[in-house]
Amino acid sequence: MASEPEVPGEPRRKRARGEKTRRGNPNRLTVDQHVFPAKSIERFVDTDGRVSVQFLQRNKSVRAKSDNSIFCADRSWDQRVERGFMKQIEDAFQEAVRPILEAKATSVSAEARPTIDRMYSLWYWRARYRDLESQEIDLKGIVGSNLSLEQEENLESNGYMFARANGKMPARQMNGVTLMIRTYRYADYLTNTISRWGVIRARAGEFIVPDMPWHGVLPLTPQLAFINSAPDGLFTEESVAEFNSAMRAGSENYFFARDFRCSPFSLP
């Protein structure tokens, strides 16, 4: 199933509360797992260290720090994937975009291109796999080991997968595998189908960030974004408003910005 394409309009899964760690989380397992990278959110914070978040269903706006659980999955993939596979992609991405952020480059280099493909792909799929309907998967006849919670956490923190004595395994382990496969496959697809990532700067106004990436857009700062298959260039305030309206329309639960007073939208 992990190799199959996403079905457009497929209903999102309901969120089951993540499994709890031992008291005090001694193995330092990541429980709040960012969908959009924390370091990227931090580039949008205002002087108070927060961003503006608009909830669509409640029509409510709040100010939130980058580590707020709003931006996180609730232990929906395992530590091996979080601190290994995903961290490598995020770290490589932050390093690759540094020249553009520091105004030492105005376009994406050939060396940076695969890194951006992987980061967009990772964000794309984490947004779609941030919720688990249940916390265990039935292995259909495979019997595991009678492990204590401490033993399970030791295994997970050391990069191992495991099955439980009841013939089930934590769903986050399989979800992590699925995310790895889909991230690699979609990154390859991007490499082979889009010509480039254009560096777009806002001449006036500021970009918002959606919770659900759809449009081949990867915001970097309030006034800087990557857009696939686009030339490098400047956006007028009118273009920023059209951009923001498209990002808002594609969002499912929320979107955020540095300050909504600086983020224009097109008139309905």
Q: Tens digit of pLDDT for each residue in 152-189?
A: 999 999 999 999 999 999 999 999 999 999 999 999 99
CA angle 235, 187, 218 (to 5 degrees): 25
Three-state secondary structure call for residue 240: helix
pLDDT at 9: 54
- Asked if residue 126 is part of any domain, the answer here is no
pLDDT band at residue 143 under the 50/70/90 scheme: confident
- Asked if residue 115 is part of any domain, the answer here is no
- Asked if residue 171 is part of any domain, the answer here is no
Domain range for 235 is 55-65+195-268
- Asked if residue 238 is part of any domain, the answer here is yes
- Asked if residue 105 is part of any domain, the answer here is no
Q: Do the Cβ atoms of 204 and 161 come closer than 8 Å?
A: no
Percent of the chain with pLDDT over 90: 89
Q: Does pLDDT of 8 surpass 70?
A: no
pLDDT at 15: 72
DSSP β-ladder status, 197-202 and 233-235: parallel
- Asked if residue 208 is part of any domain, the answer here is yes
Percent of the chain with pLDDT over 70: 95
pLDDT at 14: 66
pLDDT band at residue 2 under the 50/70/90 scheme: low
- Asked if residue 43 is part of any domain, the answer here is no
Mean pLDDT of the chain: 93
- Asked if residue 260 is part of any domain, the answer here is yes
pLDDT at 11: 55
pLDDT at 142: 87
Q: How many CA atoms lie within 13 A of 180 on its CB side?
A: 18
- Which strand (E) or helix (H) includes residue 33? strand 32-34
92-135 pLDDT, tens digit each: 999 999 999 999 999 999 999 999 999 999 999 999 999 999 99
pLDDT at 3: 47
pLDDT at 5: 52
Average pLDDT over residues 65-73: 97
Domains: count for the chain: 1
Q: Do the Cβ atoms of 64 and 53 come closer than 8 Å?
A: yes
